[in-house]
Amino acid sequence: MGEEIVGRERELEALERFLSMVPHGACGLVLAGEPGIGKSMVWQAALPLAKQRGYRVATSRLAGSEATLTYAALGDLLADVADELAVALPDPQRRALDIALLRAEGSGRGADRRAVSTATLGALKLLAAERPLVLAVDDVQWIDGASASALSFALRRLTTERVGVLATLRDAGGLHDPIAIEGCLGPRAERIVVDALGVDSIAKIVRMWTGAELSRPTLVRVHEATLGNPLFAREIVRALRRDGLDLLPGEPLPAPDDLEGLLHARLRRLPARTRNALLLAAATTRPTVHVLRAATPSAQADLLGPAEDADVVRVRGDEVSFTHPLLASTVYRRATSARRRDAHGRLADAVDDPEERARHLALAAAEPAADVADALEDAAHGASGRGAPATAAELAELARRMTPGDDVEASRRRAMKAAEYRFVSGDAVAALALAGELLEVAPPGPGRAEIGYLISVFSWNDVTRLRPVLDAVVADLEEPSALLASAIADLGWVEILGGDLRAASAKAREAIELAEGLDDPGPLSLGLVTAAYAEYMLGRDVAGLLERALDLQLDPEGPAAVSYSLVSARNTLGALLMWSGDLDRARSELEAHAQHLVERGQYLPLWEGFIYLSELETRAGNFSKALEHAEELLETMMEGGYEQARETGLWVRALALAHLGIADRSRGDAIEGLSLAERHGDVFHVITNRSVLGFLELSLSHPEGAERWLSPLPELLSSRGIVEQGIYPFPPDLVEALVGMGDLDRAGSVLEPFEQHASELARAPALAASARCRGLMAAANGDFDRATTSITTSIEMHAGMGQPFELARSQLALGDVRRRAKQKRSAREALETAVRMFDDLGASLWAAKARRSLARISGRSAPHDLTATERQIAGLVATGLTNREVADALFVSVRTVESNLSRVYSKLGIASRRELRAEMLEPEGSR
């Protein structure tokens, strides 16, 4: 194990637990603590232990200067196996990883963060399949954002794979684990806080590291002064050795306010030429002997020898590393600004990587310089192409700061590009802040309109904010332009979300007409897609609009090109196919759109695709997959600070959770989503979140609760001109709730327009649901023959649609009708089929409903399961008394009658007073 570990029994036990877990599935251990507390020593001790067990160990030891170097940590971890992976990985993953690790040149498009993330996941799976793999990251807080994103993506998807992550984390203000190891691995990850050592352990370490023997009083004082921090203690004792080991009474310890002062005192004793070399090493992200010599005039052979002797750096071949990250930061912080600039200037001439060279040029410059700004802008573009938009944003912002003050246009262009990079990388807050700063100082006119439009792109789905922003953009533009056409098209989208669909169509058509004469196809695409979306909801044929939009060749680097990702022809086509009932084609289109975004590095715009993919998988009965998409959507929004569209993610997650029977979480998500949608003026998602809440109440056999959530929605659809029934499939739920309440007249008034539009538009899923509703209404009227015919038709129609949950609902309805018609054998067959189907889907609430119905065939769960109060109230209601009459007879409130009656309905699996009379008044043997 190398150097003895002192006073860390608890931490070593945690290491043993962790290493024992690795062969049984993905796991993690985070060693957290303050600087110098000994985290890295414990971490280092684990590496040989893992190798002794036959594990593969991949390491990365990080420094603060590396936090901005794209995929630095990922390169550390995978560099030794890159050739091995190149043979085993599929070509797209291999290509993405090669570009990220600088093993191949990007094509301009390159591999974005998500593409590299997918490749990283594939790489870890391949490596772990051969033997257990330990990823060991020291000082994880310094990991670069691109590597953290890729590793986080992979860890969230590892389960049984034999991968363990061991990391140290500096516990200091403002620092965190960018990978979120504990969040990714959940209960399979453990955090151990590496605490201060006791005085006896400090004494042992002092003797071991320095050879010094201190008196007990001095040791106690050292322990008190350092709070048990071994690195602090070692540095203080080294200072004491120079002046005598024991202190006179009342003599202060030679301890400055912080460790940096101690480390600086240690570094100051090194020769000047060595300190100069150390500054170069601290200033660069990947110090090597070759780079240091190239950057050092009249380089001597033994530049770093004294630093090695003083245990400041280690040299292994060509690689140079500081023995502790604080040493590198101390070297850099204590240098004058002039010396830092000189170091960066020499490094700019010594390094080959254009991104790093651009950084050095910027940090070497004392004032703005056009050539430096140009180099940084080029480096930003390169970083974006490599799939690191966050790094691209930082470079673009640095380019803006290095732009000479008289070049206003270049400064604005670089700032806007930085905002776009921030947005697509997943930081909507920073993007909006930067664009907002530009808007404040922009004079009226096209320039201000361009900034305002960018802000609008960053602001979906907040209709209350979007409308005035886009109105201001239009007001700033006097001449026809691509920007004007885009803004008018987006105002059409505002109407889709929160206004009138007829107005939306008119805006979209206006944008199309304006865009027809322009060279830029982007605004024409926006207009065509907006018109297709709005007019589909109005029940019109939009195939021609979408075909034309799909044929357009868009410039991915054009102004505000991110808007084409948000309003995508392919994504819209996928959504419309889903709502029409063609789930397989819809999935193909939606996944193709997502892949396109991945290739372009458009990370945050993936959120809209995740909405449709989640909704699609719920419709397809793949509830866990739907939940996974919803979680990714919400995670993307959370990471990006994109609260203004959160109601969309909450809706689809609530929908998946409701189908899985996870009622409390579903209700909480949908209520929060509804609140956000109302705040944002997003009527579209007011409807979707209310629909989930109504469906959930129906799933819980609470028809009155379902009716309360759903009853306002038909009027909302009618007032907005919505004819297409596939988008909001709540009417069958409302019909079923109203039938359950015995309100057949209202049920018919809801079903009639739904059924009519479904027939006019030939929407098979809606027609199948309508047939089931007709059957439920017929059964409530006692016409079991007609009910059986209608529901059988529904089953036949649903059978070929790939929507198994709806098929199971119709199967349950058929079983209920047959049971009530005293057709016990056929009822049992239908209900057993329904139970099996719901169980296979994981729809626990509906499986329970089917089981209750199945149990009642032989009277096994008849009134005997009711409480005395429930039985008394049910008996009176069955005689024909109203709720008020029952309440008066029993001296209770009407609410008490209603709540007990609701429980009776749920327990007996019935939905009307007619069914209750049959249950309570028929002889036992006749059921």
pLDDT of 294-342, one tens digit each? 888 766 667 788 888 888 888 888 889 887 656 776 788 788 989 989 9
Between CA 461 and CA 669 the distance in angstroms is: 17
The confidence score (pLDDT) of residue 816 equals 94
- 523, 562 in Cβ contact below 8 A? no
pLDDT band at 149 (very low <50, low <70, confident <90, very high): confident
Between CA 814 and CA 788 the distance in angstroms is: 6
Task: List Cβ neighbours of 338 (8 Å cut-off, separation of 6 or more).
Answer: none
- 811, 836 in Cβ contact below 8 A? no
Between CA 270 and CA 537 the distance in angstroms is: 75
Q: What proportion of the chain, given as a percentage, has pLDDT over 70?
A: 89
Secondary structure string (H, E, C) spanning 720-745: HCCCCCCCCCCHHHHHHHHHHCCCHH
The confidence score (pLDDT) of residue 435 equals 93
Token pair belonging to 627: 């939940």
Mean pLDDT calculated for residue range 587-609? 82
DSSP 621: T
> Is pLDDT larger for residue 916 or for residue 621?
621
Please determine, for residue 252, whether its predicted confidence score (pLDDT) is greater than 60.
Answer: no
Q: Nearest 5 degrees, angle CA 104-CA 63-CA 262?
A: 160
Please determine, for residue 108, whether its predicted confidence score (pLDDT) is greater than 70.
Answer: no
- 26, 188 in Cβ contact below 8 A? yes
Q: Quick check: helix, strand or coil at residue 170?
A: strand
DSSP 257: S
**Alpha-carbon dihedral sign for residues 385, 359, 559, 420:** positive
Mean pLDDT calculated for residue range 435-460? 91
The confidence score (pLDDT) of residue 301 equals 63
Neighbours of 154 (CB within 10 A): 25
Distance from chain centroid for Cα 119: 18
Please determine, for residue 824, whether its predicted confidence score (pLDDT) is greater than 50.
Answer: yes
> Is pLDDT larger for residue 245 or for residue 48?
48
Mean pLDDT calculated for residue range 794-799? 94
- 649, 611 in Cβ contact below 8 A? yes
Between CA 876 and CA 856 the distance in angstroms is: 21
Mean pLDDT calculated for residue range 185-207? 83
The confidence score (pLDDT) of residue 68 equals 61
pLDDT band at 96 (very low <50, low <70, confident <90, very high): confident
Q: Kindly report which listed range (208-222, 282-296, 544-558, 839-853) carries the lowest average pLDDT score.
A: 208-222
Tell me the whole-structure pTM to 2 decimals.
Answer: 0.68
Task: List Cβ neighbours of 770 (8 Å cut-off, separation of 6 or more).
Answer: 732, 751, 754, 755, 758
Between CA 455 and CA 473 the distance in angstroms is: 10
> Is pLDDT larger for residue 821 or for residue 241?
821
DSSP per-residue letters across 533-602 = HHHHHTT---HHHHHHHHH----TTSTTTHHHHHS-HHHHHHHHHHHHT-HHHHHHHHHHHHHHHHHHT-
Mean pLDDT calculated for residue range 448-472? 92
Neighbours of 258 (CB within 10 A): 13
Highest mean pLDDT among 490-499, 686-695, 914-923: 686-695
Q: What are phi and psi of 279, to 5 degrees?
A: -65, -40
pLDDT band at 343 (very low <50, low <70, confident <90, very high): very high
Please determine, for residue 700, whether its predicted confidence score (pLDDT) is greater than 80.
Answer: yes
> Is pLDDT larger for residue 457 or for residue 888?
457
Neighbours of 206 (CB within 10 A): 24
Please determine, for residue 3, whether its predicted confidence score (pLDDT) is greater than 70.
Answer: no
Q: What are phi and psi of 313, to 5 degrees?
A: -130, 165
Between CA 881 and CA 875 the distance in angstroms is: 9
Segment 842-856, tens digit of pLDDT:
998 999 899 888 888
The confidence score (pLDDT) of residue 654 equals 97
The confidence score (pLDDT) of residue 249 equals 43
Q: Nearest 5 degrees, angle CA 345-CA 346-CA 351?
A: 100
Please determine, for residue 738, whether its predicted confidence score (pLDDT) is greater than 60.
Answer: yes
Segment 61-90, tens digit of pLDDT:
876 655 566 788 888 898 888 788 877 887
Containing 313, the helix (H) or strand (E) segment is strand 313-316
**What b-and-e string marks burial along 322-347, b requiring 16 or more CB atoms within 10 Å of the CB?**
bebbbbbbbbbebbeeeebbbbbbbb
- 452, 471 in Cβ contact below 8 A? no
Between CA 906 and CA 705 the distance in angstroms is: 13
Looking at the DSSP assignment, which residues form a beta bridge with residue 163? 133
Q: Quick check: helix, strand or coil at residue 849?
A: helix
Please determine, for residue 367, whether its predicted confidence score (pLDDT) is greater than 60.
Answer: yes
Segment 32-65, tens digit of pLDDT:
988 778 888 889 889 999 999 999 999 988 766 5
The confidence score (pLDDT) of residue 256 equals 44
Token pair belonging to 855: 């149990």
Secondary structure string (H, E, C) spanning 739-800: HHCCCHHHHHHHHHHHHHHHHHHCCHHHHHHHHHHHHHHHHHCCCHHHHHHHHHHHHHHHCC
Task: List Cβ neighbours of 684 (8 Å cut-off, separation of 6 or more).
Answer: 461, 496, 497, 498, 677
Mean pLDDT calculated for residue range 667-692? 95
DSSP 288: B
Taking alpha carbons only, the member of 871, 827, 874 closest to residue 853 is: 827
Please determine, for residue 926, whether its predicted confidence score (pLDDT) is greater than 50.
Answer: no
Please determine, for residue 898, whether its predicted confidence score (pLDDT) is greater than 70.
Answer: yes
The confidence score (pLDDT) of residue 242 equals 65
Between CA 381 and CA 104 the distance in angstroms is: 17
- 443, 414 in Cβ contact below 8 A? no
Task: Specify the length of the chain in residues.
Answer: 927
DSSP per-residue letters across 434-490 = HHHHHHHHPPTTHHHHHHHHHHHHTTTT-HHHHHHHHHHHHHH--S--HHHHHHHHH
Task: List Cβ neighbours of 457 (8 Å cut-off, separation of 6 or more).
Answer: 423, 560, 562, 563, 566
The confidence score (pLDDT) of residue 245 equals 54
Mean pLDDT calculated for residue range 1-30? 85
Q: What are phi and psi of 911, to 5 degrees?
A: -135, 5
Whether a cis peptide bond, with omega within 30° of 0, leads into 276 is no
The confidence score (pLDDT) of residue 246 equals 55
Q: Quick check: helix, strand or coil at residue 169?
A: strand
Q: Quick check: helix, strand or coil at residue 30?
A: strand
Between CA 22 and CA 160 the distance in angstroms is: 9
Question: Given its phi and psi angles, is residue 337 left (phi above 0), alpha (psi -120 to 50 degrees) or beta?
Answer: alpha
Segment 601-657, tens digit of pLDDT:
677 778 888 999 999 999 999 999 999 999 888 877 876 678 888 999 999 999 999
Between CA 899 and CA 693 the distance in angstroms is: 19
Neighbours of 367 (CB within 10 A): 8
Q: Kindly report which listed range (149-153, 222-226, 898-902) carries the lowest average pLDDT score.
A: 222-226
Between CA 203 and CA 219 the distance in angstroms is: 6
- 791, 772 in Cβ contact below 8 A? yes
Q: What proportion of the chain, given as a percentage, has pLDDT over 90?
A: 46
Mean pLDDT calculated for residue range 860-881? 72
Please determine, for residue 692, whether its predicted confidence score (pLDDT) is greater than 50.
Answer: yes
Mean pLDDT calculated for residue range 906-923? 68
Distances (CA, A) of 621 to 107, 174, 661, 666, 795: 40, 43, 13, 17, 16
